[in-house]
Amino acid sequence: MFRFAVLCTLIFLSACGSKDKNSTAASTDGSGNAAFASLFQEMKPPYTLSDSGLLANKDTVRIRSEQWNQFIPDSITKNIFGATTRINYTPLASFKGKKGEQYFLVKAARENRSAALMVVAAHPDSLTAVLPFLVPDKDAASKQVTSFEGNFSVIRTVHRTLPDDSFQEGKDVFAYSELGRTFDLVMTDPLSDEKPELINPIDTLGSNYTYAGDYSRDKRNIVSVRDGRKKGLITVFIHMEAKEGTCTGEIKGDAEIVDGTTAIYRTPGDPCILTLKFGKGAVTLQEQEGCGSRRGLECSFNGTFKKKKEADTKETKRK
């Protein structure tokens, strides 16, 4: 009798140990979505994930479901990781849809690269659609945030900081289509690689001064000269970009006319002193002192700018 009791106890402990081993192995048993669904924490939208938040996630739980691995398209993993194997999937969250569908959000990782994928299960025993939810890039000037909204749409947003400290924003909105069993792009506001148009803030001022007009080296490096607030002054606007836009500078204010061809930008409270030397069809800038407060450290305002033809100036104003 004693031996029988010991045997039963050993069988019971063995069964419990087997169950614990399967759960720590991230659930390899079960059929359909039940093989991995219990690993996800069910949440309610809205839900937001940033690129920094994804990269900071150190959860070690893994999805070890063959069904899951077979469903993720090779085209997606190839595009993100350059490979289709040895990719680890970590559960992040799940959401229950309006019509019973389930949205699973996972972190996919291979070596030193990570991405978040959203997978839809329209039925308890199948996976039906997948969307790259957030794929961090290597651009230090950009930040990515993706949200899963209360209406079950996915909004991917990219913020980029430009060299002049201005911002650009791009946005894509996706929604799951039950009919097509895909994520459809329903709206896009692309992040433009083009820099915003340079606006001349003194363009409409008078231009009776002998050397009034617009001077330039290119579209992003200009000197604009207009009549001043009073006799003996001119108003200048100078915009400069160098080193592919990574070093910029700008000056707007009064310059004192010191002789027939020379003016000096010198304003109380501003340490920058800059000479403008006018000649036939051009103006040459020369920093005298203190202009580092107006520009980046690795460039200067120094240089010669050619005067635009009057027709070019009028055409620019019409635009």
Q: How confident is the model over 197-224, as pLDDT tens digits?
A: 677 888 888 999 999 999 999 988 999 9
d(CA 105, CA 93): 5
Q: How confident is the model over 71-125, as pLDDT tens digits?
A: 787 778 888 888 878 888 989 999 998 888 889 999 998 888 889 999 998 876 6
d(CA 245, CA 69): 44
Is residue 243 very low, low, confident or very high in pLDDT (cuts 50, 70, 90)? confident
Count CA atoms within 13 Å of residue 250 on its CB side: 11
Contact, 172 vs 153, CB < 8 A? no
d(CA 160, CA 147): 18
Single pTM value for the model: 0.52
Contact, 264 vs 251, CB < 8 A? no
DSSP H helices, the chain, are 2-24, 51-56, 66-71, 74-81, 310-318
Contact, 108 vs 114, CB < 8 A? yes
Is residue 273 very low, low, confident or very high in pLDDT (cuts 50, 70, 90)? very high
User: What is the end-to-end Cα distance of the chain in Å, rounded?
Assistant: 100
Contact, 106 vs 63, CB < 8 A? yes
In the numeric block, which tokens belong to residue 160?
């980029």
Q: Tell how far CA 299 is from the center of its chain.
A: 27
Q: How confident is the model over 289-314, as pLDDT tens digits?
A: 999 888 888 899 999 999 998 654 44
Provide the pLDDT for residue 27. Answer: 42
**Mean pLDDT lowest among 2-16, 45-59, 200-214:** 2-16
